[in-house]
Structure 1
Amino acid sequence: MQEWCTIESDPGVFTELINAIGVQGVQVEEIYDLNDEQQIAQMQPIYGFIFLFRWTSKGEKRECLKIYDQDLFFANQVIQNACATQAIISILLNSPQIEIGEALKNYKEFTIALDPKERGNCLGGVEVIKTAHNSFARPEPFIFSNEKKKAKEGDDVFHFVSYLPFKGKVYELDGLQEGPILIGEYQDDWIVRAKEAILKRIQHYQEKETAFTLLAVNQCRKFKANKILSSSQNEILLTLKTLEFMGVELSEEQKQQLIELSNQQNIEQELLQESKEELLNRLNNANNRIQEAQIILSEETAKFQKYKEENSRRKHNYIPFILELFKMAQRKGQLEGLLEKAQQKQQQKLQQQPKK
């Protein structure tokens, strides 16, 4: 079986990976502060959190469920380096409001009757997922053996887990554990319970530990903005038609807007019951929502273009170019001098570092 590579904890990487396995209308965004209510509100609806932390063999003992709702999809992590993709899939497969696509549908249906370990094993056979994951492999200049590189004591090893709501309860899904971890029940806002658990988890580590990343898997903001844009345009059309029907003189701008939006829709009877002032207020609010949606679309388009460029650089193999530069420098007799300068700069950096 082909090995799975390690992948970078980056929202652009995870968003492209989700799209590559056939899931649309979902993106990943980084959360810098769980107490930033404005950022959380802008991301809604949030389907789950992905939490990255430095893993140690001496981690705290977790209490896992042995008996739990069988509709909750949980799989053990059997494949080395698959924890990032597995954390994403755990959220996607436990969010019924997401259209997960053909590959994940087939995987879920095929493994639904299997135990968590076998589900983890089967993940390695889903070619679409494995290919999407390994598309972010970093080019290696030299390969010395076919042996797997195993982490040693003291190496930096990072792990991904998921937090998500399911049928009124919040769970932590960690493929390295025996089963799901129940965080607790919630009434209205599952994020409050998840936030408590994540902050408590962070406090278990030493104060000097800062290697944490929190990512939200949420509805694509472009998808959400387009829905707002469409519904607001529809509301403007109906409101303008109602005003025109009531004999209200429309401005030239409103007439042009009516022409641009006009179709075969009929006037809604409830709008006829509103006053002119109420209709104009409705019109103003709809136009404001359109402006906000257009700003979001512009920002998200720029962000996704940046993701595309960054991911292209991640996947590109620069090694032949670098080797060719070294050859050219050697032919021109400049390589030795460049190496000396690099060594001097490195020595200066070391001297400038504060002594421990």
Structure 2
Amino acid sequence: MESAGNWCLIESDPGVFTQLIKTFGVKGVQVEEMWTIDEGIFENLRPVHGLIFLFKYVQHDEPSSPVVTDERLQKIYFAKQVINNACATQAVVSLLLNCNHPDVDLGPELTKLKEFSMSFDPKMRGLTLSNSQTIRAAHNSMAQQTLFEIDPKMASKDEDTYHFIGYTEIDGRIYELDGLKEGPIDHGPVSAEQDWLDVVRPIIIRRINAYIDGEIHFSLMAIVSDRKMIYERQMDELLNENHVLGMETDDVENEVRRLKLLIEYEDAKMDKYKQDMIRRRHNYLPFIITLLKILAEEKKLVPLYEKMKERLVKKKEKKLKV
């Protein structure tokens, strides 16, 4: 892969991806994690603008459906991944730039990127994306603080590699957006009476089932409309409708109360995301070193170490008995 500056690895976490999207300047969306792929999981999250899927990367993995190389590339924003570690941002940006929903405001940076590079071929789009200082800075701002630097030359050859891709509906068809492929993968049409999420669910299930039994390293996240915005809109519509039609006061008050609780929950969740991001970026190493020095000076470090070692031995013995 070609170099366009260093791009960090990004944790598969809805808070990280939500903060990443906000850092791009996009408004009206957030990211939610899916804990299951069962039927009905998207019911309370609609509208869903795209799915981000993380899986263990297998080299020479052949596409399960046709790869688009025709004139549809002029309408579908697909960019080849030309640098290492950029697949998270690549998946997010690809999904956002293929979204035409009134809730989604791309902001100036992504709007400019799309207008500038839409006429390019996939590789040139990838180069344009990777050379955007704003996008790279936003991506790298999500990096978790590392206490120690590891020489990449010492990394194990057997170390697993994970990869992010996107799934979305474009013009009535399901597309898989994987920057390591030559183009979008066409998974077929969505009929007028179908929801695209019902069509994509078995596609993801088949993808998971293709791995050996016991493989659990998968992650699925959904790019959805800003939940607080949705609840506030529902509350405004409810109050206006009540004013016009004169609905039962108790029913309206109960629904308003429920929506207010949901809005408070979203505010608390976003505050937690911000706090988690501060903790990820903070360097705790000076604190740890100072704490260890103080414990050593007060002759408490070795007893604590021995106590912890004894606790671990007891835990192992307990497991053996079970």
TM-score range (shorter-chain normalised) is 0.7 to 0.9
State how far apart, in whole Å, the 2-side matches of 1:144 and 1:201 are: 32
Cα–Cα, structure 1 residues 170 and 6, in superposed 2: closer, same or farther, change >3 Å?
same
Which residue number corresponds to residue 37 of structure 2?
34
| Count of aligned pairs between the two proteins | 312
Q: Is the 8 A contact 2:55 2:162 kept in 1?
A: yes
Q: CA deviation at 1:288?
A: 4.7
Structure 1: give runs of 5+ residues left out of the alignment.
240-278
Give the counterpart letter for 1:90 in structure 2. S
Q: Is the 8 A contact 2:79 2:179 kept in 1?
A: yes
Which residue number corresponds to residue 178 of structure 2?
174
State how far apart, in whole Å, the 2-side matches of 1:106 and 1:305 are: 30
Cα–Cα, structure 1 residues 60 and 343, in superposed 2: closer, same or farther, change >3 Å?
farther
Give the counterpart letter for 2:299 in structure 1. G
Decide which of 103, 117, 121 is 2:109's aligned counterpart: 103
Q: Would you say 1:291 and 2:254 are equivalent positions?
A: no
Cα–Cα, structure 1 residues 186 and 118, in superposed 2: closer, same or farther, change >3 Å?
same
Q: Is the 8 A contact 2:52 2:91 kept in 1?
A: yes
Aligned-partner SS, 1:41? coil
State how far apart, in whole Å, the 1-side matches of 2:261 and 2:85 are: 38
Which residue number corresponds to residue 50 of structure 1?
52
Cα–Cα, structure 1 residues 149 and 132, in superposed 2: closer, same or farther, change >3 Å?
farther
Q: Is the 8 A contact 1:54 1:212 kept in 2?
A: yes
Decide which of 6, 10, 13 is 2:9's aligned counterpart: 6
Which moves more between the two structures, 289-298 or 160-169?
A: 289-298
Give the counterpart letter for 2:35 in structure 1. Y
State how far apart, in whole Å, the 2-side matches of 1:333 and 1:149 are: 39
Which residue number corresponds to residue 264 of structure 1?
none
Larger relative contact order (C-alpha < 8 A, sep ≥ 6)? 2
Decide which of 193, 199, 209 is 1:193's aligned counterpart: 199
State how far apart, in whole Å, the 1-side matches of 2:310 and 2:161 are: 32
Decide which of 4, 26, 34 is 1:23's aligned counterpart: 26
Aligned-partner SS, 2:44? helix
Aligned-partner SS, 1:53? strand
Q: Is the 8 A contact 1:236 1:286 kept in 2?
A: yes
Give the counterpart letter for 2:59 in structure 1. S
Which residue number corresponds to residue 217 of structure 2?
211
Task: Provide the TM-score with structure 1 as the length reference.
Answer: 0.80
Q: CA deviation at 1:153?
A: 3.3
Give the counterpart letter for 2:267 in structure 1. T
Decide which of 78, 82, 87 is 1:83's aligned counterpart: 87
For each residue in 1:110-140, what CA deviation from the matched residue of structure 2 results, as whole angstroms up to 9, or x when unmatched? 2112221121122222233222221122223
**Percentage identity across aligned positions?**
38
Which residue number corresponds to residue 271 of structure 1?
none
Structure 2: give runs of 5+ residues left out of the alignment.
none
Q: Is the 8 A contact 2:88 2:164 kept in 1?
A: yes
RMSD: 2.4
Q: CA deviation at 1:57?
A: 1.9
Q: Would you say 1:224 and 2:226 are equivalent positions?
A: no
